[in-house]
Structures are given as structure tokens and as C-alpha cells.
Structure 1
Amino acid sequence: MREMKNTQSHDEDGVIKPGAKLSGNDYVLVTLRDSGDPSGRILLVRKGFRCIHGCTICVECAESWELDHHVHYQQTGGGRRLREALNAQHPAADNAHPAKVDSTEPGTIEADSYRQ
């Protein structure tokens, strides 16, 4: 697996560091299916060739995250743009399902008011 640059916001594996201050445009929230754990932040990578597929999320690997995680696209600006990119990639598919699931979950929050 290719390493990313270790910065103030994320480590060399692309994992967002605890306490890192990021814009909602830079991450998407995910919750592990079948778990009561709180949502985690996954770094969005805008260029698929830079994604290390496993700790980061891009258009190419977003749908694979949905196998084990609820991807909360509607809770951040970056997540909404990622959902739009997936819809553009697969216009005939029924892509409303993940957003519908997110919007009905209890405790959902507005993207602009979320800070971790």
C-alpha cells in the first residue's frame, strides 16, 4: 500500500488524526454496520490515483465502503459532492438509497454545524 504524506490532519495511512480540524468538504462520515460505535471521519481524496483504497475514500472506492459501513453522504459537503459524482458515474442505478438511509437515521446533524 502506498503511503501518503504525514500532515497535521492525517497520518501516512490517510487516517484522520483525532482532534484534527477539517472542513466538511474534506471528509465523509462513516459508521461500521452492526456496531454501536460513533461515526468516524474518512479523508476524501479528490484524485483517485492518490487514494490508498482502505483508509481514504474516493469515487472509485466509495461504493466498496458501503459493504461494511453506512456512508453518511448527506452530513458533509464533501460527502454530498461524492454522492453527486457517484450519481454521475451510474445515472441509471438507483443511487438514492444511501442518502435515504442517512436522512432517516436518528441523530442526524446538519453538515455545517458538525465539528469534531
Structure 2
Amino acid sequence: MGLVLPALRADYVAVANCTCLDDRAIRCPPTVLMGDADPRTTPAEVGGWKKHTKNSFRLRLWPGGLFFLDGQEAPLDAEIRETLAVVGRSQAETRAGRTLGGHCWGENTPSQ
């Protein structure tokens, strides 16, 4: 939990202080983890983040509610490794000809 709390706090700070413009999109392929019994949101609501990327979007449902990651260190490690492999393949494709720039945030262009 000590590793997760700083990231969780940062998420709350970002949500409180950040506005996301509809005409902005990230170029990174986000992976969103969610508990399938989360009492505060639905997969459809979380899936709405897809409109903010120009890349692939992965929503991974895990068993549990709001604290679904408790006790899930090994599966979480595997998920992170899989996600990083996906990002690595995406970056390799970019270097092979689909140049999207050297950063994750897109220019002021509509997401597709």
C-alpha cells in the first residue's frame, strides 16, 4: 500500500486541478485498471477516457471493488509488464514509420 498511496494521492490532485480539453489527445496507449464491483464508477464511464487518446486503449476489469489491488502484487506486476510490452511494441511501430513525435501529449488536434 505504501507504493500505491503516493500515486493515488497524485491522481486526486490531478483530478482536482486538471481540465482535459476535448480537442486534446494523448499519444500513449493508456491501460486502465478497474475493480468489477467498484461502487463509484462503471466500465462505460471509465471507457470514456478512450476519446482522449490517439492510440489504443485497454480497460482491464479485475475482481473486487474500490480497493481491488489489495493483495494483488504478483498479478499487478504481470499486468504492468504486459502493458509495458504493448507500449514497447507501439514505440517500435512509431520508429518504423508511424512517427507521432517524442512525447505523449498530442498537439492541439482533435482525437480520432
TM-score tier by shorter-chain length is under 0.3
Larger strand share, 1 or 2: 1
Greater RCO (Cα-Cα under 8 Å, separation 6 or more): 2
Larger helix share, 1 or 2: 2
TM, length-normalised to structure 1: 0.27
Larger Rg: 2
